[in-house]
Amino acid sequence: MRLFPRLLLNHLVVVTVTASMLLIVAELSAQPFIQHHVAQMMELIGTQGNHMRSDLTNGMRLTLTRALLAALPLALLVAVLTAWVAARRVTASVRHLQAGSRAIASGQYDRRLPEDGEDELTELARSFNTMAGALARVEQTRAELIGNVAHELRTPVAAVRGYAEAAQDGILPADKALAAIAREVAGMERLTHDLSLVSRVEGGRVELHLRSVPLGDLLRQAQDRFHLAFEDRGVTLEVERPAADVVVWVDAQRAQQVLANLLSNALKHTPAGGTVRVWAGVHGAEVTVAVADTGSGIAPEHLDRVFERFYRVDAARTPGEGSGVGLTIARGLARAMQGDLTATSVPGQGSTFRWTVPLSPAAA
């Protein structure tokens, strides 16, 4: 059964039940009322009007009943009209929803429903439009991801082909060509590993082994790992280690990945002669590890997007300067360890990344 017949049947049932109840109530409540007033009239008229008592009582009851029955067709007409209007309103919204759903299913993620009104159907349309917007963003991200992966792989693949052809033509010795090809393949392996890690981080599938780790040990290991790279680039690395009793609750290996990505990012954007500072501060039950550089900084319109996969502040960034997902991985790992990673920047003066990490339960 379609919507209008169902609504009409419901309205008719309501009208019928209501009319029946009105007749019963009128019959039960009107009779004493009528008899009382007829008795008062008889007292005024006198005994000569006794023969009129029955006629007055029956006439008034009959008039009331006829009035109620006469209103019944009008009530039925109102029921039909309201059912028709309601069915038309609901049906129109459902048709819009059906058409929008078909459009979304066919890939038209820009399809939206009208949001006229403040009722539940309008709320449904708003929810549909919110869903469509989320799907559009997912599709855009998917397309950008495919394009970015292709962009990142294009250069090493072209280099591998060039080295192979050079070796075949005798332009480049085979051993040098093989060494160069191995470097390019290693770069592609790093990219695929990073993409796999991003997928697991965003899907919440990263295996963590949380334990108490002295923060000073983590910072010392990171400094030992990167000090040669900083010296080669002519950038000063300053690490202020916290007190020995500052113990954090982390996965040591994943924490080193977070620090490595932050230091790599700072080194990449700090020119020779610049400085990268690392320090930590305890705030309640958590510690904030800050990595600040004296690079060119990040413009406000880019600051909220630096943690997106493959997002480039500098659109001219050369493929091979990292996988483009380091900060994405760092934030994902930070949040997986019940912390967070945020960024602030002053264009022309540098950027500061702050990693919050919980204190060890014993230390807290």
Structure tokens at 269: 């954007």
Structure tokens at 11: 């309205």
b/e for 128-144, b at 16 or more Cβ within 10 A? Answer: bbeebeeebeeeeeeee
Structure tokens at 55: 């006629």
**Whole-angstrom Cα distance, residue 64 to residue 23?**
9
Place of tokens 């059906």: 98
CA angle (285, 197, 266) in 5-degree steps: 65
Q: Would the pLDDT of 333 be above 80? A: yes
The CATH class of 211-358 is alpha beta
In sequence order, what are the beta bridge partners of 357? 287
Structure tokens at 203: 């899907």
Q: Would the pLDDT of 319 be above 50? A: no
Question: Is residue 253 left, alpha or beta, with left meaning phi > 0 and alpha meaning psi from -120 to 50?
Answer: alpha
Report the range of poorest mean pLDDT among 5-19, 37-51, 88-102, 221-235.
Answer: 37-51
Write down the pTM of the prediction: 0.59
Q: Would the pLDDT of 357 be above 60? A: yes
**Whole-angstrom Cα distance, residue 199 to residue 197?**
5
Structure tokens at 288: 């904030």
Phi, psi dihedrals of residue 41, rounded to the nearest 5°: -65, -40
**Whole-angstrom Cα distance, residue 75 to residue 80?**
9
What local confidence, expressed as pLDDT, does residue 233 receive? 93
Contact present, 241 and 216 (Cβ < 8 Å): yes
Where do the structural domains in the chain lie, given as residue ranges?
3-108, 121-202, 211-358
**Which of 138, 257, 267, 141 lies closest to 193, judged by CA?**
257
Contact present, 350 and 294 (Cβ < 8 Å): yes
**Whole-angstrom Cα distance, residue 169 to residue 54?**
126
Phi, psi dihedrals of residue 281, rounded to the nearest 5°: -140, 140
Place of tokens 């419901």: 10
Q: Would the pLDDT of 214 be above 60? A: yes
pLDDT digits (tens, 9 = 90+) for 106-154: 888 888 888 877 777 788 888 888 888 888 887 877 777 777 777 778 8
Helix spans in 106-251 (H):
120-168, 174-202, 215-233
Q: What is the mean pLDDT of residues 163-170?
A: 88
The CATH class of 121-202 is mainly alpha
What local confidence, expressed as pLDDT, does residue 23 receive? 64
Contact present, 153 and 310 (Cβ < 8 Å): no
